[in-house]
Amino acid sequence: MEEINITMTLTERDFYINQIEQQIQEKEQLLINKYKQINNLAEKNEFLTLIKNDYTNYYNYIVKEKKEQILAMENINTYLNSLFLNTKLTADKINDAKLEQQRILREMDIIKTKLNNIIT
């Protein structure tokens, strides 16, 4: 088997990752919209109940995943707070940790917004 060596710049890799993340978010939103649509239709049509159950399972999975992501981010944030209080870090390390903490808090806000959009 011939080995394929693919190299790309960091910018190209980041662009590629962003495209994949965008596609995942679009698919997630499509499935959530379908879930809501089928949920409404299932009330009128008993045959859609099975399909509704599949979408409900996926919907519940996404909600659970988002909640777990928020919990993980909160744990990291708590850990960073304890680092500030309980360790002797250099000013540079403190600044690095605070920047990381701000990034985590922004990411938590994004995940919470996505969860709210899913639930409503």
Q: What is the pLDDT of residue 2?
A: 56
Structural contact between residues 41 and 48, judged by C-beta atoms closer than 8 angstroms = yes
Lowest-confidence region among 14-18, 21-25, 26-30, 44-48: 44-48
Share of the chain above pLDDT 70, in %: 90
Structure pTM? 0.54
The whole-chain average pLDDT of the chain stands at 80
List, in sequence order, the alpha helices (H) in 43-90: 49-86
Which two structure tokens, joined as six digits, stand for 73?
Answer: 């981010």
* Averaged pLDDT, 10-34: 83
Structural contact between residues 22 and 52, judged by C-beta atoms closer than 8 angstroms = no
Helix (H, G, I), strand (E, B) or coil at 9: coil
Residue 115 identity = L
Task: Count CB atoms within 10 A of the CB of residue 32.
Answer: 19
pLDDT digits (tens, 9 = 90+) for 82-91: 877 777 778 8
CA separation for the pair 110, 92 (Å, rounded) = 27
Which two structure tokens, joined as six digits, stand for 100?
Answer: 């990381």
pLDDT digits (tens, 9 = 90+) for 61-76: 888 888 898 889 888 8
Residue 21's pLDDT band, with cuts at 50, 70 and 90, is confident
